[in-house]
Amino acid sequence: MTFKRSVVSAAVLGASVFSGGAVAGVSGNVGVSSQYLFRGIEQNGDAAVSGGLDYAHDSGFYVGTWASTINFNGVSASGVSTEVDLYAGFSGEAGSLSYDLGAIYYWYPEEGELDPKPDPSNNTFELYGSLSFGPATIGLYYSLADYFAVTDEGVMYPYLDLSFPMSDKLSLDLHVGQQTFEEDGIEDIVDYSIGVSADAGNGFSMGLAFVATDIDDDDPKLVVSGSYSFDL
């Protein structure tokens, strides 16, 4: 099973999307979105361009990388303009239940070239797991420490995704998740979205979603995205 962080999931949900029916081998993807939202929070004030490579084995093991342009609302002026995600895991099926376990590292390579270097760093390591049954996926990400320069204590991100086919090509996608901080004084953040995704055929897909959080004065955002996936 291959890791597929689609433009819709990356830009809109900030959660990993997997394909249980993926064929073993190497695949790639490229995409563009009107903006990049990670768990409902803006990462790129302008349009974002992304791409990735994945390898899947018949055993269920997979490994891959995904990258996107960012600016952290102006931080790119200081030299940080790229996010690179590195991940590996194992997935499979038990009857009608699908499961996935793995780890992901969010890396901002340009930070190492800055003087002075950001302290704390945005580089973050998370463990994740999910279970899928029918249209529902329930999952959890967990960072032990150093969570995107926000805290050096643990952060959990439980989430629920629902995807309902509306036709052979069109799906209704719902998401809710919550960043739960172990450090006192940092308020939890709930993000949610509703959108539609379309399979345009020949590896092309499109998405449209409204995304919001419970942060005060954070207005809902409309994200438009498109991507192309291919086998190598």
pLDDT tens, residue by residue, 212-222: 999 999 999 99
Measured distance CA(40)–CA(111) in Å, rounded: 23
User: What was the pLDDT predicted at 52?
Assistant: 93
Q: What is the pLDDT of residue 71?
A: 79
Q: Which of these ranges, 50-54, 100-104, 119-123, has the smallest mean pLDDT?
A: 119-123
Residues 6+ apart with CB under 8 A from 162: 135, 136, 137, 173, 174, 175
- State the CB neighbour count (10 A cutoff) for residue 202: 8
Task: Say how many CA atoms lie within 13 Å of 120 toward its Cβ.
Answer: 12
State the Cα–Cα distance between residues 61 and 57, nearest whole angstrom.
Answer: 5
Of the pLDDT bands very low, low, confident and very high (cuts 50, 70, 90), residue 24 is confident
In CATH, what class is 2-231? mainly beta
Burial 126-136 (b: 16+ CB within 10 A, else e): bebebebeeee
Contact in structure between 96 and 133 (CB atoms under 8 Å):
yes
Kindly state the average pLDDT of the residues 63-79: 72
Residue 178 has pLDDT above 60, yes or no: yes
pTM: 0.89
Q: Could you tell me which residues come within 8 angstroms of residue 78 by beta carbon, excluding any fewer than 6 positions away?
A: 114
Question: Quick one: average pLDDT of 153-164?
Answer: 96
Is the CB of residue 103 less than 8 Å from the CB of residue 128?
Answer: yes
What is the distance between the alpha carbons of residues 205 and 227, in angstroms, rounded to a whole number?
5
Ranges of each domain in the chain: 2-231
User: Average pLDDT for residues 115-136, to the nearest whole number?
Assistant: 88
Confirm if 3 and 26 have CB atoms less than 8 A apart. no
The kind and range of the H/E element at 8 are: helix 7-8
What one-letter code names the amino acid at 59?
S
> What are residue 199's DSSP bridge partners?
205
CA separation for the pair 150, 137 (Å, rounded): 27
111-123 confidence digits (pLDDT tens):
877 767 777 788 9
